[in-house]
Amino acid sequence: MSTTSQKHRNFVAEPMGDKPVTELSGIGETLGGRLCESGFDKAYVVLGQFLVLKKDEELFRDWLKETTGANAKQQGDCFNCLKEWCDSFL
């Protein structure tokens, strides 16, 4: 498995709570703003979409690209972050 960022490690180390969407790995201010404009203002709302898409990597990546214009690395970082969080907390 590839190495993870500090942001990723921080996110998956604790319950999600009310974290802003920009706490997700791969989501910075620009993509976070686009997510907020689409109604995905909190990390748990993006998690909900991840779960609605049945944790399917291809479907989630496509959704994130269509919603924010995220590149392949950003899509993968966000997917892996949510997947690892789910593995730990669900």
CB 86 within 8 A of CB 80: no
Span 17-76, pLDDT tens digits:
999 999 999 999 999 999 999 999 999 999 999 999 999 999 999 999 999 999 999 999
What does pTM read for this prediction? 0.94
Q: What is d(CA 9, CA 61) in angstroms, rounded to the nearest whole number? A: 20
Domains of the chain (ranges plus CATH)? Answer: 6-89 (1.10.150.40)
Query: Which residues, including other chains, have CB under 8 Å from residue 74's CB and lie 6 or more apart?
Result: 26, 27, 31, 64, 68
Q: Which residue has the tokens 């910075």?
A: 28
pLDDT of residue 3: 73
pLDDT of residue 37: 98
Confidence of residue 2 (pLDDT cuts 50, 70, 90): low
Q: Which two tokens stand for residue 30?
A: 């620009």
Residue 7 has pLDDT above 60, yes or no: yes
pLDDT of residue 1: 46
